[in-house]
Structure 1
Amino acid sequence: MKNKALIILFIVLGICGMKEKQVVATENQNDVGFYVTPVTPATQLDLSRSFFYVKTEPEKEQILKVNVTNTTKEEKTIEINIANAMSTENGQIDFQEVLVKETSLKNSVEELITTKDKEITLKSDETKTVEFSMKPSKDHYEGVKMGAITFKNKSGEEANGMVSVYNSYKIDVVLSENGDDFRNGEVLKLKKVGPELNKGRKVIQAEIQNPESKLVRNLEIKAKLIDKKNNKEIKNIHTIDYGLAPNSVLPFIFDLGLSNIKPGEYKVKMTITNVDNQWDLEKDFKINNEQAKKLNDESPFRINTPQWVKFLSILLGISVVVIIIILIKRKNKWQKESKHRKSRRKKGKKRK
């Protein structure tokens, strides 16, 4: 009887613990004021994934569905956006609008997935189902198409334009024709290198290209910026845990700080490695006088010397030159006088 009582007690405690975890999870979701639930499609390639990992066929349309629920007592407006996967300068994979598309990216997630609902309004405790039409092109493709659907609480925007970091949900979308492993990319290229202004900073930007429809992950990058005139190493950067999204470009940054961009011929050398591969990349580039002057003038990160400092520097320089001339003249005069005294002493000795 005692054993039975203990078993019943443990079961009751376990149930209570499970209920408590569920409440905590719900409370965390309510911090945003709404939550989203993807409806698993029949074409889901991996049921253990919480995002859309969908098998596609050329020109065969599918409807993807997401349930959006308002958990507050107030009406909410939710913005809906679709974006491709991109690579950031910090080596992270992000999902946002890319102004310049990578040339190897054809029929992106942004192009294949559409919705008529750019935003929805939810009453208190209301749930709506948002439908997304996904229609691949007629062309077959290798690897994956990767992107995300973002749901942002438009009602969370403050009057001053500030937006909370925690006011949105993102559901990843991975499209594949065959479900093969897409985390084993093997090709990296150094596409373009040159001077740029990055958020006002003077930088040398080296574009690392992943032209494959696969992820490249867990990268260690050793990079050097070299002045070809004297083979001098200007910058040396070592980073780890970088990754590139499929068909994307990673803008690798050499930050020049307050130093001016100088005209000349330069070289970027990189050794990029992960467990499976090593890429040795290098590229020469030139900076002309016009480029250097334009970027140096436009950057807010520069040392501005006041006119009085320049005037004082010139005055000090002139003063130093004058002092040196005076000292030299005094020295010469002293040497002449010293010789004259010695000469007089010698003449005096001879007379005696």
Structure 2
Amino acid sequence: MKRLLPIVSVLLLILFPSVGFAEETKESQGITENEKRAGFTVQAVLPENQVNDRVSFYHLLMQPEQAQTVQVKIFNTSEKKQTYRVEVINAATNRNGLITYDERDKKPDASMKLPITKVAKPKNKEVSVDAYSEGKAEVIIQTPAEAFQGILLGGIRISLKSDDSEEESQGMSVKNTYGYAIGLVLTEQDHAPVYGETDLKLTKVQPEVDYGSKVLEASIQNPYPEAMEDLVAEGKIVRKGQKKALAKNKLESVKIAPNSIFPFQIDWGMLEVSAGEYTFIGTVKGKTKSWSFKQDFTITRQLAKKMNEQTAFRIFIPSWWTTSFYAVGTITAIVTAWLIIRLVKRKKGREIREKE
């Protein structure tokens, strides 16, 4: 069972410039409704080595063996002193085709040689700020001696610390708290693009139950240190050797984090899964390239039974209903045949009488 995440972001601040990053502060723009609920807001303090100062996330040009500390302002807009958790989390790609910074326990993809969590770490894991005051969180960046290619991508998460910290650390708490994530992009080449379309690979397909739904998950890998955007992903499940789609899915405006797996899912729907040989057929289209995938997979009787039993929503057809359906169908056919025969006999009788 997947671990319950204790933090739910109501204002997830995405990496890219189309979305602002806590640009409104109490002093400048007034407090928004979401900020009132959260009780705080944050703002990135962009350093001199910021590649693009027109955006509100960190995009830093680094050098090998460079040490640097970046700051995040925290504005406590509540009437009491609050404590905030400070984390650096690797960028990941979720099943909806979005780049996220909340999968703190997810193991980095095998293609990721240097996770950003190895390079950037919070100076203090917790920061307290007095009521109606401004504080700061600091993140220490230390690049290795060996140069890295492309970009490293992650997020600096600032979240309100729960009162029940012990349960939260054990993954037992389901209490919602508020948090912000500010994108952190590191590069050592001033020409390295944030986005690219080098290649995608299908690493595996796996039938499983995810959050109570029977799905086929196709793991589509971006093995390069560049993000992808504006992709269209389509896929379908067919019986092996056939063309008719048993289930299909399409996602638009897909983004994929660098060196990550995009878990593209196809929902089987409400009907039960049967054992047999199947094929996944999928495509991903970008601005300049497209990729086609095809892979066979097998669902054993044991796996089919397990998937059907673990599904939260199923259609049950009682045996009596099936028996009644066939009985009613048989009776209907007999009555229909009898009416047709009777009609034919009457017509013939009428024709004989007319001749006479």
Specify if TM > 0.5: yes
Bucket of the pairwise TM-score, normalised by the shorter protein: 0.7 to 0.9
Q: Percent identity?
A: 27
Residue 324 and residue 33 in structure 1: after superposition, are their counterparts in 2 closer, same or farther (change >3 A)?
closer
Is residue 2:183 matched to residue 1:172? yes
Check whether the contact 1:229–1:265 (CA below 8 A) recurs between aligned residues.
no
Q: How does 1:73-112 map to 2 (within 5 A)?
A: 73-97=79-103, 98-112=105-119
Q: Write the distance in 1 (CA, Å) between the matches of 2:259 and 2:186.
A: 14
Q: Distance in 2 between matches of 1:93 and 1:254?
A: 19
Indicate yes or no: 2:66 matched with 1:60: yes
Map 1:157-306 → 2, pairs under 5 A: 161-163=174-176, 167-179=178-190, 180-305=192-317
Q: Which has the larger radius of gyration?
A: 1
Q: Secondary structure at the match of 1:78?
A: strand
> Which structure ranks higher in relative contact order (CA pairs < 8 Å, sequence separation ≥ 6)?
2
Q: 1:321 to 1:108 in 2, by over 3 A?
A: same
Q: 1:138 aligns with which of 137, 140, 145?
A: 145
**Residue 215 of structure 2 contacts residue 265 of structure 2 at CA under 8 Å; is this kept in 1?**
yes
CA contact (8 A) 1:221 1:271 kept: yes
Decide whether the 8 Å contact of 2:247 with 2:269 is kept in 1. Answer: no
Q: TM-score, normalised by structure 1?
A: 0.76
Find the partner of 1:122 among 116, 129, 132: 129
Counterparts of 2:321 and 2:205, CA distance in 1: 40
Q: 1:318 & 1:47 partners in 2: Cα distance?
A: 75
In 2, Cα distance between the equivalents of 1:93 and 1:304? 38
Shift in Å, 1:36: 2.2
Give the number of equivalent residue pairs. 302
Shift of 1:52: 1.1
Aligned counterparts of 1:223 and 1:229: Cα–Cα separation in 2: 16
| Structure 1 or 2: more helix by fraction | 1
Query: Is the alpha carbon distance of 1:79 and 1:191 closer, same or farther for their aligned partners in structure 2, counting shifts above 3 Å?
Result: same
**Preserved CA contact (<8 Å) 1:85 1:94:** yes
- Displacement after TM superposition at 1:173 (Å): 0.2
> Any conservation in 2 of the 1:91–1:242 contact (CA below 8 Å)?
yes
Give, in angstroms, the shift of residue 249 of structure 1.
0.9
Task: Give 3-state SS (helix, strand or coil) of 1:223's partner.
Answer: strand
Provide the secondary structure at the position in 2 that maps to 1:26: coil
Q: Secondary structure at the match of 2:199?
A: coil
**Aligned-residue offset at 1:155:** 6.1
Report the RMSD for the aligned CA atoms in angstroms: 3.1
User: d(CA) in 1 for partners of 2:58 and 2:329?
Assistant: 75
Establish whether residue 310 from structure 1 lines up as the match of residue 316 from structure 2: no
Question: Taking structure 2 as the reference length, what is the TM-score of the superposition?
Answer: 0.75
Residue 204 (structure 1) shift: 0.9
Change (3 A) 1:237 1:125: closer
Whether 1:48 and 2:72 are equivalent positions in the alignment is no
CA distance in 2, matches of 1:284, 1:324: 42
The answer for the alignment partner of 1:34 in structure 2 is: 40
Q: Distance in 2 between matches of 1:184 and 1:316?
A: 57
* Secondary structure of 1:27's aligned partner: coil
Which blocks of at least 5 consecutive residues in structure 2 are unaligned? 1-24, 165-172, 335-356
CA distance in 2, matches of 1:318, 1:48: 73
Is the 8 Å Cα contact of residues 70 and 138 (structure 2) preserved in structure 1? yes
Q: State the AA in 1 paired with 2:44.
A: P
Change over 3 Å in CA distance of 1:146–1:314 after alignment to 2: same
Q: Secondary structure at the match of 2:202?
A: strand
Unaligned runs of 5+ in 1: 1-20, 326-352
> Structure 1, residues 270-309: CA drift from partner, whole Å, max 9, x if none?
222122111122222222222222222222222345xxx4
